[in-house]
Chain A
Amino acid sequence: MNLVCTCVRRRLAALAASGADIEPTSWLARHLAACSDCSRERRALASLAGHLSSARLPEPDEQAFAAAVWQKVDALPAPIHRAAWWQSPGLLAAAAGACALALWMAREPAGVGVAAPPHGPVSTARAGGAAGTVASISPASRPKADLLTTPPPAPVPQAKKPATSGSRAPVIPKLRPGLNPATARPRRMLASAGSATAGSTVAWSDWGSYYEQKGDYRSAAYAYGMAHSEKRDPTTAFAYGRASEASGDLASAMDRYAAVLEQDGG
């Protein structure tokens, strides 16, 4: 059997399967006429197909088959009508409650927004003589700074070692990475910006209050420190110390509290 015979026998099975006739003038027909082995193979395949065709698949009885199908269909349990979830009053109320809860949790907490900066009269009288910042905020005593035009505190590198001496420079905290102070202004600050006038001291105090409310005490301490360096008053000094204390810089906080007491004493 040569290579041509191999090709022919591959074709013969496909031809037998497809039921196609062989063109008398084709090279396959000429080869079959000349090659007895391939011709015998063709007859064998045809005989095999004939034997297979002699078998008959039995067919089910039509009436009995259909009757059995309908009997099984009738035996099926009745379909349960399931109402859509929004048609159930209980689930609908639960969904509404979940939405309300989500909205309530997503709203800005009342304490997170920055309160108006301490401005105007500041009560420093506290028990034990310690100075406190009890700011009385009223629409008339709103800060006069134009907060929209006030440059935000630029991100500064994190201080490696906090200084412990009393005369050291204020701790320069690093503002949170990714926070753009220009866009992260609290809404209340933006709302009150229209009625505010320029004043960088107020702005630094505002930023200190903002970061303090946000819980970023290092940034708050830095902002209060900047405000205190521009205008030395007990209010900002105490806020500086409070923020430093909250941020864990106790040495700086003690310095600031001492400065407040010295100013009060003076």
Chain B
Amino acid sequence: MHTIAVTRPHWQTESDDRALAAAARDGDRSAYAVLIARYRGMAFAYSLAALGNREEAEDAAQDAFVQAYSAMPRFDPNRAEWAAWFMRIVRNRCRDGLRRRKTRRPAEMPLEIMDEAPGPEAVTMADDRRRVLMQAVAALPEAQRVPLLLHYAGGKTRVEIAHALGVPESTIIGRLAGGLKTLRRRFGGEGLI
């Protein structure tokens, strides 16, 4: 039985993930608790960016952890990276949620995407303008919306997003640029920006 301390620095490496996944596969709950703490933010942020609803995002992220835990005996840490494997589960859960909802466009995202404690620039931004901007973000295609929200609103790096989405970093940069250009065209003549 592996014994791994729960308290670990934030900059854990891939080898740590592998050891934690191996320990969790052998039934070590504390190791899986570390994995939950480490990937909870990314899983929830992705789910929220994809689904646009906080409750559904929480459920999707939790269900992804549960599904990953039950599938751990089939996971081989030497053949696959745990983070990529887990984020694939998260993406599938979100896809299932969107399929159940019968629409790919999260309608209520603009009101729920903003935190109760907005940043300093948001204080100076009128609420209506902020709402319009978030509506425009919600109207973006999912391929552009998710990286845009994860990067700017979620504070994730491009490498982290590429890792979470399973695509190269250059693809993330292209999607971010495409989203910015779309928003710029959308608000170019309205004086919003």
Contacts and interface: CB of A to CB of B under 8 A. Distances in A.
Interface of A: 13-14, 16-19, 41, 44-45, 47-60, 62, 65-66, 68-70, 72-73, 76, 79
B181 A13 contact: yes
Contact of B117 (A19, A47, A49, A56): A56
Contact of B37 (A19, A62, A70): A62
Contact of A51 (B61, B115, B121): B121
B114 interface: yes
Given A51-B125, A55-B153, A17 B58 contact: no
B162 interface: no
A48 B184 contact: yes
Given A57-B45, A69-B36, A72-B66, A49 B115 contact: no
A250 B153 CA distance: 95
A23 to B, nearest CB: 18
Interface residues of B, number: 55
A65 B36 CA distance: 9
Interface string B110-138: 00111111111110010000100110010
Interface centre among A48, A51, A53 (most CB of B within 10 A): A51
- A interface, over-half SS: helix
Given A69-B62, A76-B70, A56 B133 contact: no
Contacts of B173: 14, 17-18
- B interface, over-half SS: helix
Contacts of B61: 60, 65
Given A18-B158, A49-B180, A55 B152 contact: yes
Contacts of B174: 14, 17
21 contacts: A13-B178, A14-B174, A17-B176, A19-B158, A45-B184, A51-B193, A52-B153, A55-B114, A55-B119, A55-B130, A55-B149, A56-B114, A57-B45, A57-B150, A59-B41, A60-B61, A62-B37, A66-B37, A66-B40, A72-B62, A72-B63
Contact of B153 (A48, A53, A69): A53
Contacts of B121: 50-51, 53-54
Nearest to B129: A51
B110 to A, nearest CB: 10
